[in-house]
Amino acid sequence: MPRGVIPRQPAKTGRQDRSRLVPHTTKPRISKPHVGAGHRPVPAERSSAAKKPKYNPLAPDRFAEILNRLDQLYPDVTCALEHRNAWELLVATILSAQSTDVNVNRVTSILFKKYPAVQDFAALKPEQLEPDIRSTGFFRNKSKSVVGAAKKIVEDFNGEVPMEMDQLLTLPGVARKTANVVLGTWFKVNEGVVVDTHVQRISRRLELTREENPKKIEQDLMRVIPRKRWTLFSHQIIWHGRKLCIARRPRCADCLLENICHAADKTWSTVEIHTGAK
């Protein structure tokens, strides 16, 4: 540009830009409201209610809030079953079906002194184990599962609990719930969500699933929970089920999730109840 020539500045109003976008000949069309017979104006409050977005229990902000409050309630929780290695955790998890963690811990504290290694269990007949685990319930089936799992681990996996889901599922008495506990808690692998009776009940109360089948519940939860949270979420919900969100009489008045929970069987509520949330 030659010296002394000042480039033209665009007008501050920006009129020249708009003139390019909107031809002068185009006039905005404003349609008149129909006020004749059969076309009454909609009252303001009714029209705003119609526009209210439909409640979505899986909306990202609601879900993030649930995770956030669980973190506040249960910041550092882990599995309550006492164990020193993957084998002990596997046994304790098999024994925990239909039993309490306190009872299982009492049983295993003696059991693992009597049979310290997986090879000791593999050398047993199920009937020999039955008296030691009797108080955990379903002791005949549990004896078969524990001894069967020990034999398979010794014969097929060189005495080491496998850390692959497919391999864990080949062990007698091991389904996805037990495998998820061992993988998530001991091996720190987020392969799935542990769906026990607490996770089943509370996921439905919080409207995170409508399913009843544990496998389908797990699929629903895996879709909405970030993978890195799968194990922690399971432990937090299990603790919540033990402490506050109890099956028969949940302690809703003490619950930090209360004002975002619409469960049908709440014992106290400041928000509307959803009859399907159970």
Catalytically annotated residues: 177, 196
If one counts every other C-beta atom within 10 angstroms of the C-beta of residue 26, the result is: 7
Give me the least distance between CB of 154 and ligand SF4, in Å please.
43
Which of 269, 260, 268, 272 is CA-nearest to residue 65?
260
Subset of 198-217 contacting ligand SF4 (CB under 6 A): 205
Give me the least distance between CB of 266 and ligand SF4, in Å please.
5
Q: Does 250 bind ligand SF4 (CB under 6 A)?
A: yes
Q: How far apart are CA 175 and CA 127, in angstroms?
A: 23
Report whether 130 contacts 139 (CB < 8 A). Answer: yes
Exposure string of 76-114, with b = 16+ CB inside 10 Å and e = fewer, is ebebbbebeebbbbbbbbbbbbebebeebbebbeebbee
Which C-beta is closer to ligand SF4: that of 94 or that of 202?
Answer: 202
Report whether 73 contacts 66 (CB < 8 A). Answer: no
CA dihedral for 16, 22, 24, 29, sign (positive or negative):
negative
Q: Does 251 bind ligand SF4 (CB under 6 A)?
A: yes
Q: Does 179 bind ligand SF4 (CB under 6 A)?
A: no
Which C-beta is closer to ligand SF4: that of 83 or that of 240?
Answer: 240
Subset of 254-273 contacting ligand SF4 (CB under 6 A): 255, 257-258, 261, 263, 266
Give me the least distance between CB of 242 and ligand SF4, in Å please.
12
Total number of residues that touch ligand SF4 (CB under 6 A): 12
Q: Which residues bind ligand SF4 (CB under 6 A)?
A: 205, 244-245, 250-252, 255, 257-258, 261, 263, 266
